[in-house]
Structure 1
Amino acid sequence: MLRVMALSLVRDRGALVLSFLLPPAIFVIFAAIFSATANDELPLKVALGKGNNVEAWDRFEEVLRAEPSLRIVGATALDPKDVSRQVEQGTVDAGLFIRGETGGDKVPPLLVLTEPGKPLAGGILSGKIRSLITAEMPDMALSTTVLAIEPLIGGLTPAQTERLETATAALATGDRNLDEAQDLVETAFVGPQKRHNAAVTYCAGAVAILFLLFSSMQSAAVLIDERNSGILDRIAVVPRGPEIVVHGKFLFLVAQGVIQASLIFATAAGFYGVDVIGNLGLWLLVTLAASMAAAGLALAAAATCTTKQQAQAVTTFIVLVCSAVGGSMVPRFMMPLWLQDLGRFTPNAWAIEAYQGTLWRGEALTEMLPELGGLLGLAALSTMYAVSVSKRRLRV
C-alpha cells in the first residue's frame, strides 16, 4: 500500500509539486507577517500634512520620509481635512498632521488621525513618532515641553533661558539624550463613529470571502469526477454542451455563495449591530460579485486539474495564499509593504474593501467600482477559461 500510494503521488506531477510547495509558501507568508510585528518594524502607509509657518518641523518631515518602516503616500498636504479624507477612504493606514508650534495652549503639535477600524495603526504611528523625536530630534521635544510648562512657572530667568538654549543645542548635536518625548502627539479618530465595531465589519467580509472560496472550490471539484466517469461526455453531445455544464455549475455556486454570505452577515447584524438592512442594495451587489468571482475561480481550477488529488492541492494552495495575502487571516496593514502590494491583486482584498466601503464608510457605488470591477472581471475571465478548457477536455 505504501508503494502504491507513493507511485500514485509521484506520477501525478502537479499534485506532487503542490503538496510540497504549499507548506513552505504559506510559511514564508506568515513568517514575513509575524517577523515584521515581532521586531517593531511593522510598516504603515501614512498620509502626511503640515500647516503653514512650521518651518521648524521641516527636519522632522525629512526624518519621517527617511524612516524605512513608514511609507509616506503622496505629497505633503496643507489642510488636515485632506489627510483625514485619505484615512477615511482607506488609501492609507493612518494620517499625521504637523500643527507646529502651538505656544502654551496645551495643544500637541502633532495630530495622528486614524480610522476606528484600525486603532492599532494609530497607536503604532504615535509610538513611532515619539521614538523618532526622542532619537532624532530631542531638542525639539525639549523646546516643546518648555513652551508648555513655562506659563505654569511664571516664565524663565535669563540664566535659565541661557542654560535651556545650551541644553537644546547639545541635544540637537547629539551630545545629550532625552529619555522620552511626551505630550507631543494627539490621536483622533476620523470617519463614521457608529455603534458597532468596525473590526466586526472587517471580520464579516474577511470570513465571507474565505468561505466563499473554500466552498466553491470543494463543490467545483465534482466536475473532475463527472468528467472522469464519462457523465459529461453524454452532456457534451447536445449543442453547446460544455457551456451548459460550466454555466450551470457557475449559477449553482453563485447561489450557494449568496446564501452563505447572507448567513454570515445576518449573524453580524443580529449579534453586533452591523447595518446590513440599511445598505441592502449595495451589500447584495458586493455579495453577488464576490460569489461570482469565487465560482469562476473554482471552475477554472477544476477544469485545469486532471485528478481529484491534484485539484485538492491546487485549490488549497489558491485559497490559503489568497486568504493570507489578501487580508482574510491577518489585516493587510500589518503585513510588510511588498505583501500589501501583492495582496491588492487578490479577490479577498477586493471583497473586504468593498464590504468595508458599503457597511462602514458608507461609500457610493462609484467609489467601489475598482473593487467591484476586479471581482466581476475575475469572474468573467475565469468562467471563459473554464469553458475553453472544458471544450478541449470533453470528447465531442
Structure 2
Amino acid sequence: MIGAVFRIMWLRLWRDKGALVLAFVLPGFIFAVFAAIFSNASGGSLDLRVALGSISDAPAAVSFTQQLSESDVISMTYDETWSAADVIERVRLGQDDVGVIVTGDFSDASSPSIQIIEDPSRTVAATVLKGQIRQMLATTSGVKSTALFNTKSALGADASTTMEDPSVTYYIGATAILFLLFSAMQGAAISIDERRNGISDRLMVGPMGAMGILTGKFVFLTWIGFLQAAIICVVAQVFFEVPILEHLGAVTLACLGTATLASGFALLIASFCNTQAQMHTVSTFAVLLLSAVGGSMVPRFMMPAWLQQMGVATPNYWAIEAFYGVLARGQSVFDLLGVWGILFGGGLLCLALAALMSHKLMRV
C-alpha cells in the first residue's frame, strides 16, 4: 500500500515536467542567490557606490582626494567640479550609497577633515566606509591617521528628526510589494482552474475574450492590493510617525502603482502555469527570488554588484523607489515620473501579455 501510494505520487511528479524542474533545479539556484547576498553582507566587503567630493585646497587633502579617487578598494564616483551639495544630492537620490567630502586640512587635528554623507536607511554603508578610509589613512604618508570624521544626513535635518527611525520608510515599499505579490499570486491562481474546467472557454465568447476576462480579475486584484498597501501606510503613520498624510497624494499613487504591477505580474505568471502545483511552486520561488534580489529582504547596497544590477529589473526595486522617494527623499510626483511609468506601464504590459498567452492556451 505504501509503495503503491509512493509510486503514484512519483509518477504524477515525473509527468509534470514543469513541477519536476521546479522541485529539483530551483532550490539550488535559490540557495546560490541567497548565499551570495548574505556572504557578501556578513563578510564586510560591501560593493558600495561612493560619491567623492573635495572642498579643501590643502596639499595633503588634495593628495588624499586623488588617492581615494584612484582606489581599488573603494568604488568611487568622482568629479573634481562637484561641490558638497552635488555629493549630498547624489546620495539623497540614491545614485550612490554613501558620500565622502574632504573638507579640511589633515594637519589640523582639532577640526573634522572628512565628512561622511549617509542615507538613514544605509547607516551600515557609512560605518563600513569610515573603516575603509581609516585603513587608507593609516598607510598614507603625510596624512594623520587620526583625522576627524563628521557625519551628515543626505536627507536633511527635518527628515531625520520628524520620525523616530527614518529608516522605517524604506520598509514600507519593501514590505508592501512582498505582501502584494504573494496575495496577487493566490488570487491569480483561480485562472488555472477556470482554464482546466472549461469555464474560460465559455467566457471567451464574450466581446472582449481573454482580455475582458483577465481585465476583470486585474481590476479586482489591484483594488485589493491597493487597500493592503494603504493599511501598511496607516500603520506606518500611527505607530512609526511616518508623515504619510503630508504626502497623501503621492503615497496614494505609490500604493496604486505597486498594486498594479503586482497584479499584472501575478496574472502573467498564472498564464504560464498549467496546474495549481506549478503555480504554487513557481509563485513561491518567484516572489522569494524577486524579493531577495530587489531589496525587500536585504537592502541592495549589501549585495554584490552583479546582484544590484539584476535588482533593477524586479518589481520590488521600483516599489521601494516609489515609497522611499516620496517619504524620505522628498521627491515630488513629477520627480518620479519614470518610476510611475514602470509601475503602471509594467503592470498593464504584463496584463496584455497574460491575455495574449491565455488566448493562445484557450484556443488550443
Specify the TM-score bucket, using the shorter chain as the normaliser. over 0.9
1:118 matched to 2:152? The reply is no
Deviations 1:117-145 (A, max 9, x none): 222211111111101211x315412xxxx
**C-alpha displacement of 1:346:** 1.0
Q: Which residue of 1 aligns with 2:323?
A: 355
1:28 alignment partner, one of 25, 32, 49 = 32
Distance 1:257 1:74, change over 3 A: farther
Distance (whole Å) between structure 2 residues aligned to residue 297 and residue 55 of structure 1? 56
Structure-to-structure mapping, 1:54-203, within 5 angstroms:
54-101=58-105, 104=108, 106-134=110-138, 136-141=139-144, 181-191=145-155, 192-196=159-163, 197-203=165-171
Moved more, 16-25 or 222-231: 16-25
**Percent identity over paired residues:** 40
8, 11, 25: which one aligns with 1:4: 8
1:198 partner SS = coil
Say whether the 8 Å CA contact 2:50–2:97 is kept in structure 1.
yes
The answer as to 2:281 corresponding to 1:313 is yes
| Greater alpha carbon shift after TM alignment, 335-344 vs 50-59 | 50-59
Q: CA deviation at 1:352?
A: 0.4
Q: Per-residue CA shift, 1:66-121, capped at 9, x if unaligned?
A: 44453222524441111111111121111111124165472222111112222221
Q: Give secondary structure in 1 for the equivalent of 2:296.
A: coil
CA distance in 2, matches of 1:282, 1:370: 14
Shift in Å at residue 246 of structure 1?
Answer: 0.4
3-state SS of 2:334 partner = helix
Cα-to-partner distance string for 1:269-295 (whole Å, 9 max, x where unaligned): 111111111111111111111111011
What is aligned with 2:290?
A: 322
Please tell me the root mean square deviation across aligned C-alpha atoms, in Å: 1.8
In structure 1, C-alpha distance between the alignment counterparts of 2:336 and 2:161, rounded to whole Å: 20
Name the aligned partner's letter for residue 10 of structure 1. Answer: W
Alignment of 1:196-275 (within 5 A): 196=163, 197-275=165-243
SS of 2:150's partner is strand
2:54 to 50, 57, 61: 50
**1:15 aligned to 2:23?**
no
Unaligned stretches of 5+ in structure 1?
A: 142-180
TM-score (normalizing by structure 2): 0.92
Look up the match of 1:394.
362
- Distance in 2, matches of 1:69 and 1:20, equals 39
Query: Deviations for 1:243-266, whole angstroms, at most 9, x for unmatched residues?
Result: 221000000100110111111111
Deviation (angstroms), 1:22: 2.4
**Aligned mates of 2:313, 2:75 — CA distance in 1:** 19
Instruction: State whether residues 77 and 83 of structure 1, in contact with CA within 8 Å, keep that contact through their aligned partners in structure 2.
Output: no
Q: In the alignment, is the contact (CA less than 8 A) between 1:42 and 1:69 conserved in 2? A: no
- Say whether 1:37 aligns with 2:48: no
Residue number among 286, 290, 312 corresponding to 1:344 in the alignment: 312
Give the partner amino acid of 2:160. Q
Larger Rg: 1
Shift of 1:9: 1.4
**Higher alpha-carbon deviation: 194-203 or 220-229:** 194-203
Contact 1:202/1:356 (8 A) holds in 2: yes
Cα separation, 2, equivalents of 1:97 and 1:10: 60
Structure 2 stretches lacking a partner, 5+ long: none
2:349 aligned with 1:381: yes
2: CA distance between counterparts of 1:257 and 1:275?
A: 21
Instruction: Count the aligned residue pairs.
Output: 356
Counterpart AA for 2:37? I
User: Which deviations, in whole Å up to 9, do the C-alpha atoms of 1:310-354 show, x marking residues without a partner?
Assistant: 112221222111100000000111111111111111110111011
Q: How much does 1:377 deviate?
A: 2.3
